[in-house]
Amino acid sequence: MEDFQEKEEMHQSQKDRGTSVFVLGLLSLIFSLTVSRVVAVILGIIAIVTGSGRKQESNLANAGYIMGIIGLCIAGVLLALIVFSFILVSMTFFMF
């Protein structure tokens, strides 16, 4: 009886971890498409690091891991474009 309860508690714990990775990845993806890309980068890194060891535990963890990667890539590209545009505008402003 105790073995069954321990296994059930371990399964619930793995399920909760998978859900947390999924939520982090989803938030990273949402924030990368909205205003706060720095938050998206941070959440994406946390989702990737947390989900890398838990991909085999649940499908939610695997989905969160993938969404964290996608959110991190989108946020990184958009941040690079924003920085590049500021540099370009400042260069043209100081040339005249």
Which H, E and C letters describe 3-53, residue by residue?
Answer: HHHHHHHHHHHHHHHHHHHHHHHHHHHHHHHCCCHHHHHHHHHHHHHHHHC
Predicted TM-score (pTM) of this structure: 0.77
Give me the mean pLDDT over the 1-30 stretch.
75
Count: domains in the chain: 1
Other C-beta atoms closer than 10 Å to the C-beta of 62 total 18
Dist CA 85 CA 64 (whole Å): 31
pLDDT at 54: 67
Question: Residue 87 sits in which domain range?
Answer: 2-95
Share above pLDDT 70 across residues of the chain, in percent, rounded to a whole number: 79
**What one-character DSSP code corresponds to residue 70?**
H
What phi and psi values does residue 9 have, to the nearest 5 degrees? Answer: -65, -40
